[in-house]
Amino acid sequence: MINLSFSDVLAQFVKRSAYSAGQLAELSDVPKTTIISWMDGRVNRPRHHSDLLQLARALNLTSQETAVLLEAAGYAKTAEDIRQAPKESVQDSAAPFQAIPELPYFVGREEIIKDIQSQLSTADAQRICIIHGMGGIGKTTLVAHLAYRTRYLFPDGVLWGDVGHSEPMAILQAFAQAYGVDVSHYRDLASRSQVVRQLLADKRILLVLDDVWYSADLRHLLPPSTGAANVLITTRRNDLLASGAVHRIGLGLFDEDRPDSLALFQQRLGSAFVRREEEALKEIAHSLGHLPLAIAIIANHLALDPDWSVEYILKVLRQKQGTLADLAYDDQSVSLSFHVGYDSLPTEMKQFFMKLAVFQDRAFRPETAAFVTQISPDTARRFLRRLYTLSLVQVQGQPGEHNWRCYHLHPLMREFALEEAQKANVVHTARQQLARLPDARVNGRSHNSVTPLK
């Protein structure tokens, strides 16, 4: 890197940091125009090396990296002084940044991003945001995007815990190691948690806890509420509890009336392809229920698989069966994403859920579901509440509307339920019950409350 020009050296450090020139200006007190003039090569030797030192601190450069930057800028003597200086006089390790790689084709969610950014940037104490939604909706992708976009607000770093796939003990160990602290000799969760929480107590960090299923896990992973840490939590559960000031955000599907689905196709396939196939791609997005994961998978197939075409995809989707087998690419899979929540259900609730597929594209009330699945209305209400909290079913309507408290399944979730029902050989009996529905009455109340979805 020493043989590179000053602008090239600086560009590499800036690219690694993922900061914008404006963010670096805010962190370093070096004017934005000055930073830009350095980066584009208009200025090869900054007027004051003190400005470079301020920028190096904002970039979290080590002493060796700071010396390389200074030397490239023509300050060889200062660079040598930095190399010879005691370690404590210069920052020797960058603030940790544990976020997963950001997807290059992130689109949409502008209002939610603005909302969360305002929460993070104005918080003078701990702030917790819980983002909940169904599998494949894009929760992890969103918080990764936010981690890169807001990292300049957190001089002590960004920590990431994959709670859905890692044990709390391992996550706490990774958090501590990020600051050079070994907590492996603390063998019980309570002790290790206490040490790590104390370590994080006064740090200005962004802590991401991804794919949380149980509130109990948060008790050991959240920093003290008296600190300055900001926390983003993703979960499929809309009833997840957390202490402190909690800001909850329900992440929904891409809106059919907005261009987000087409924008995702465009990111992978280019604007010319989308203009040429716009109507077909709109139909594909509609058939996929505007689920971001499903759209991304189809876009990847179209971009990289020569055997896939828009015509082939439309043919598969119009059959309305067997779609899930094709909604997989590399390590992405809609079916596997749905299985995570489904597999957590007890057997009786699984049976109930899979039978709901017979309602097809219609919404239904708890009493109707009870009749079709042949369980009591109270049990059906309890099961539906549980399925709703896990984002396996959705609620239609708003309080006060005639269809309030109607439930329905996302089109792909409905196909998933049907596949499971066919494996369990319960489709026939559920359809027989559905056929009897118009004449059925229990406790004097009609069960003919099946509403077409808008």
In this predicted structure, which of 50-64, 142-156, 205-219, 295-309 has the lowest mean pLDDT?
Answer: 50-64
- pLDDT given for residue 348 in this prediction: 95
Cβ atoms of 142 and 131 closer than 8 Å: yes
Residues 6+ apart with CB under 8 A from 66: 53, 56, 79, 82, 90
pLDDT digits (tens, 9 = 90+) for 275-287: 999 999 999 999 9
Q: Is the pLDDT of residue 393 over 50?
A: yes
Structure tokens at 297: 């998978």
pLDDT digits (tens, 9 = 90+) for 417-426: 999 999 999 9
Measured from the Cβ of residue 319, the count of other Cβ atoms closer than 10 Å reads: 9
- pLDDT given for residue 226 in this prediction: 73
In this predicted structure, which of 63-67, 205-209, 422-426 has the lowest mean pLDDT?
Answer: 63-67
Sheet of strand 246-250, all strands in order from the earlier edge strand to the far edge: 158-162, 206-210, 230-235, 127-132, 246-250
Q: Is the pLDDT of residue 60 over 80?
A: no
Name the residue type at position 132. Answer: H
- pLDDT given for residue 243 in this prediction: 66
Structural element, H or E, at residue 127: strand 127-132
pLDDT band at 404 (very low <50, low <70, confident <90, very high): low
Structural element, H or E, at residue 380: helix 377-389
pLDDT band at 412 (very low <50, low <70, confident <90, very high): very high
SS3 329: strand
Q: Is the pLDDT of residue 447 over 70?
A: no
- pLDDT given for residue 454 in this prediction: 46
pLDDT digits (tens, 9 = 90+) for 109-133: 889 998 888 888 765 677 889 999 9
Cβ atoms of 277 and 159 closer than 8 Å: no
- pLDDT given for residue 92 in this prediction: 45
- pLDDT given for residue 18 in this prediction: 67
* Adjacent-strand bridge partners of 127: 230
Cβ atoms of 396 and 403 closer than 8 Å: yes
SS3 181: coil
pLDDT band at 23 (very low <50, low <70, confident <90, very high): confident
Q: Is the pLDDT of residue 441 over 50?
A: no
Rg (CA), the chain: 27
What is the DSSP track for 195-230?
A: HHHHHHTT---EEEEES---HHHHHHHSPPTTS--E
Average pLDDT in the 34-58 region? 87
Cα–Cα distances in angstroms (integers) from residue 437 to residues 368, 371, 443, 444, 451, in the given order: 8, 8, 14, 14, 13
- pLDDT given for residue 163 in this prediction: 93
In this predicted structure, which of 280-294, 309-323, 428-442 has the lowest mean pLDDT?
Answer: 428-442
Cα–Cα distances in angstroms (integers) from residue 46 to residues 20, 55, 58, 70, in the given order: 19, 12, 17, 10
Average pLDDT in the 212-216 region? 90
Q: Is the pLDDT of residue 295 over 80?
A: yes
Average pLDDT in the 149-178 region? 90
Q: Is the pLDDT of residue 443 over 50?
A: no
Residues 6+ apart with CB under 8 A from 288: 294, 295, 298, 317, 327, 411, 412
SS3 275: helix
Average pLDDT in the 289-296 region? 92
* Adjacent-strand bridge partners of 247: 129
> Burial code of 195-205, b = ≥16 C-beta within 10 A, e = fewer?
ebbebbeebeb
Structure tokens at 383: 């099961």
- Distance (Å, whole) CA 261 – CA 257: 10
Structure tokens at 120: 């993070």
Measured from the Cβ of residue 185, the count of other Cβ atoms closer than 10 Å reads: 8
Cβ atoms of 120 and 127 closer than 8 Å: yes
Average pLDDT in the 179-183 region? 89
- pLDDT given for residue 63 in this prediction: 80
Mean per-residue pLDDT over the chain, rounded = 85
The percentage of residues in the chain with a pLDDT greater than 90, rounded to a whole number, is 46
Cβ atoms of 449 and 367 closer than 8 Å: yes
- Distance (Å, whole) CA 281 – CA 299: 10
In this predicted structure, which of 11-15, 38-42, 341-345 has the lowest mean pLDDT?
Answer: 11-15
pLDDT band at 104 (very low <50, low <70, confident <90, very high): low
- Distance (Å, whole) CA 417 – CA 274: 32
- Distance (Å, whole) CA 310 – CA 205: 45
pLDDT band at 322 (very low <50, low <70, confident <90, very high): low
pLDDT digits (tens, 9 = 90+) for 140-154: 999 999 998 888 888
Residues 6+ apart with CB under 8 A from 363: 396, 403, 406, 407, 408, 450, 451, 452, 453
